[in-house]
Amino acid sequence: EAQVTQNPRYLITVTGKKLTVTCSQNMNHEYMSWYRQDPGLGLRQIYYSMNVEVTDKGDVPEGYKVSRKEKRNFPLILESPSPNQTSLYFCASSLEGLAGELFFGEGSRLTVL
Amino acid sequence: AQSVTQLGSHVSVSEGALVLLRCNYSSSVPPYLFWYVQYPNQGLQLLLKYTSAATLVKGINGFEAEFKKSETSFHLTKPSAHMSDAAEYFCAVSEGRGSTLGRLYFGRGTQLTVWP
């Protein structure tokens, strides 16, 4: 089954404790991206990757890191999480960049205390 | 950078009534435009997209949207609402070219409620 898989789906952590949210897709998509969703703000793009080893900042990259060492994986790293990073995070992928359909994961709800 | 405005954070309609969800974007250059739907506790699903082929775009579940360059608008419509249409809808716009080809901007969303 074609899908975008995120882990963990739910996480409660404390300020400053490094964490990684993994994202994996099995559709051989070149484009992958991360978004955060906050009430009343819609979705905001954090980082995106047009292909392996190519990553670029989105609208709200501060406090986040990403890497794209292989096509299927695009992990989101929070080196020192802070409470303002409490949010619902979505990973998405597409075969043809933004000309194609974005397939979204089910989301990862992160709470930073 | 693009700015996407969705007028009305909440829209309520009766079942069978017309659905109209409004979206305006800021750039004068025709970008890629999308409408996504999000059902509770799920990720987003593409309803339709505009990629400069035709100004009237038909999507899934009976939805369609019309791109109007002069008004920088991309409003979503459905002639007859169904209870199953109740969800949150997001308009999204890309830069569509150059070094920011992968940038995607979302509106703040419109929650659609359908009354029986």
Contact A92, A102 (CB under 8 A): yes
CB pairs under 8 A between A and B: 67
The string of pLDDT tens digits covering residues A66-83 is 999 999 999 999 999 999
Sequence-separated (6 or more) residues with CB below 8 Å from residue B45: A104, B36, B37, B38, B39
A108 touches chain B (CB under 8 A): no
What mean pLDDT do residues A100-104 have? 88
**CA-CA-CA-CA torsion for B68, B113, A106, B97, nearest 10 degrees?**
10
Token pair of A66, please? Answer: 């990403």
**Considering chain B, what percentage of its residues have pLDDT values greater than 70?**
91
The string of pLDDT tens digits covering residues B15-30 is 999 999 999 998 766 5
pLDDT band at B103 (very low <50, low <70, confident <90, very high): confident
State the smallest CA–CA distance between residue B26 and chain A in angstroms.
16
Nearest to B90 among A42, A56, A97 (CB): A42
Q: Is the pLDDT of residue B99 over 60?
A: no
Chain B hits for A42, CB-CB cut-off 8 Å, are 4, 6, 90, 106-109
**CA-CA-CA-CA torsion for B1, B44, A4, B56, nearest 10 degrees?**
-70
DSSP state of A9: S
State the smallest CA–CA distance between residue B35 and chain A in angstroms.
11
Residue of A nearest to B53 (CA): A99
Residue with tokens 């995120």: A6
3-state secondary structure labels for all residues of B24-64: EECCCCCCCEEEEEECCCCCEEEEEEECCCCCEEECHHHCE
End-to-end CA distance of chain A: 36
What mean pLDDT do residues A33-43 have? 94
Q: Using beta carbons and an 8 Å cutoff, which residues of B are at the interface with A?
A: 1, 4, 6, 9, 32, 34, 36, 42-46, 49, 51, 90, 92, 94, 96, 100-109
What mean pLDDT do residues A37-44 have? 92
The string of pLDDT tens digits covering residues B35-67 is 999 998 888 999 999 877 788 999 999 999 999
Gap between the Cα atoms of B55 and B116, Å rounded: 32
- Strand-pair partners of A66: A76
pLDDT band at B84 (very low <50, low <70, confident <90, very high): very high
Token pair of A33, please? Answer: 């991206």
Residues of chain A numbered 5-44 and touching chain B (CB < 8 Å): 31, 33, 35, 40-44
State the smallest CA–CA distance between residue A39 and chain B in angstroms.
8
- pLDDT of B30 reads 58
